[in-house]
Structure 1
Amino acid sequence: MSRAVEDLLRRLAPRVLGTLVRRHGQFDACEDAVQEALLAASVQWPAEGVPREPAGWLVTVAGRRLTDQWRSEAARRRRELAVSTEPAPEEDVAKHVDDTLRLLFLCCHPELSPPSQVALTLRAVGGLTTAEIANAFLVPESTMAQRISRSKQKIKGHGFPEGPERLPAVLHVLYLIFNEGYNATSGPDLQRVELTEEAIRLTREVHALMPADGEVAGLLALMLLTDARRATRTSPDGALVPLAEQDRTRWDRARIAEGVALVSRTLAESAPGPYQLQAAIAAIHDEAPSTEATDWRQILVLYTILDRMSPNPMVTLNRAIATAMVQGPRAGLDLLASLDKDRRVAGHYRLDAVRAHLLDLAGEHEQAREHYRKAAKRTFSLPEREYLLRKTSG
């Protein structure tokens, strides 16, 4: 099968699944039918050519598989009377181009925990196999299979959600997927490129369906501007390279240009939200020729607004760094002290790591080494641990 056909099938799969789930419910059965249709397409299309309406072809084949299955299994329940035996796929798919988004909303059902939302989204919308998802989150395949299966059972019969109220959950799940890929919480690698790329691809899909939504555009811009630095975040041997030491000439200028254009347009057209503000901060970093030349005052203003709009200890950590760059390390350390009793971040390695960095800037090197050691003990990421341990001997 050619790469072009493979990419086409991957793009169409969530849309076709969304159409079937909307029409018939039965998430598991629809997913199995779509997999059979994709398999049939992977055999027929390379030999016979891609049909004029590939999405309609897949819906037709999957719908017939579903109907055949229900006819054979549920004759006694008369299930087939509720199923259309002659679907109009081209018309149906064209009329409901937002089924991918609806499927995303379904995977982010509030009955599911955030980890389950992420796993189900990657499986149903991202097209990753259970083994790939399990590998990404460092759990056995059987464990991930059970998690996904339980998630499907929880949302069985709920149908598609209505209204935009679940969009924040969808964006949050995409944000979590991207962050796990960009800065893996555990394991031997700092980054998991397959997750960052999948998060960007899915966010592009949402943006294409909702181009006027400022926060969708903001999240896509944030991902592009952040991922633009990917190639310089590790050395050839996999060691972590901090932002201040990265070779900015190797940053992806195409992604930076796209991200800057997105965030500039959305900030001009809509009231700023948290993702737009984070994207604006990322744009300032990406456009600066060096750490010293970065507009830290503007970054501090944006983090202050963000901390008021969406209070979060990780935002406060970043605001402390910006404060230190503008007002001096002691002011940054004073702000960090406000987090010491915050249960959400107390004991988190990043609190110790940021405190160590600011103590270093303040010239208190022995105290800094103590906190670098604490941070190294608390992280599960091998590259981060090795970096923090190197700082203890600096």
Structure 2
Amino acid sequence: MKGIGLRDKISVDSREFQVHTGNDPLKNIVKSEVFEKGKFLFSAEDPYSVRENKETEIDEEYLKDITFEQHQNTLDEIKILFLVNEKIKQIRQHLPHFRLGKVFLNRNFIDEAINNLKRVVELKPDFVRGHIKLGLAYFKQTKYMDAIKAFLQAHKIEPEYPDILNNLGVTYAKTNNFAAASKFLKKALEIKPNFKEANFNLGIVLFLSSIADDEDESKVIIPARFIRSFKEILKMSSFQSKYWHERFILTQQALEEGKKKNVVAALEKIQSEIMFQEDSSDIMDYFFLQFMFGGSELKHTKLDFFEELITAEVERNNTYADYWNELGIIHLVQCREYFTKAIAEFEKSTKIDPDFETAQKNTELLRHNKQGFLILLRAILK
């Protein structure tokens, strides 16, 4: 059967976004893509299980339903993010701005990301992750000197943090300051000798610096040192997805071709992409923002949806403390939903039988403790 496609335009403030959603029956995926003025911003993709009807044909209604759901979720996500952006502008807590800045950055809403991340470091100047994310946002905007300033501020707070040193090395390389780039990358490797990404980046920097003044645009010889570091990157578990395989194939093709201009472009591109590789998703950040500032109560089905996503993340990253913490939070939120339902059910019981003392007692107990539960939940989420 043919794939199912949906298209919509959504206006937020004075901006217009185009959302295209479709399913691929050969790959069993449904995917939404978001554009602004023809420029790709981000995509959301989910696999689905093939469901067949009685005639053993693919259930077309089922495919229509899941495609529409994905499409609507993407439209809602854009609306919610910009709604939250307005709601929290005057909030003097750094964490909501950090979460929103992170989500905006991952979706290439760069100006909004920078505005929120600048707010983060204003409210909490010693919050190192705020400076790092701000540096990454400036990097995406190709404002490399601003990115360096942000990373240096993070380095001032955490001078022994190898990821910051790695980011500085990559960013200095973008300004052709290969000496500074090499210095920071070597420092990162002193602190963390098995830091394969930094070793890979150092290999790129040393190679680029060696050909920087070479006007010969013919084939270049790729150093053995770089080849070794590239092979190490290819073996890493964090780069085993289809996405990374495709990226590395393009890089390898450029290296094999050997044309200087293409080799330099391919290495700079893969270097930047690796720097933006997230070691944690923003599912919980988006959930937090929608739950706290989204403007409407999250339905039970939506909570179940977030729980499934976060549980899947935990299964993939079960040694990461952050994921277990996030799963605990969403289970606590689900408890609140059951808590509220329980009050309504006890009240229903007392209406049916006003003399039912057990239901009366249970209703009063939950009513007295409801506010305390909400205070606890909001304290944890802040």
By the TM > 0.5 criterion, same fold? no
Higher relative contact order at CA 8 Å, sep ≥6: structure 1 or structure 2? Answer: 1
**Greater strand proportion:** 2
User: Rg: which structure is higher?
Assistant: 2
- TM category (shorter chain) comes to 0.3 to 0.5
State the TM-score, normalized to the length of structure 2.
0.35
**Greater helix proportion:** 1
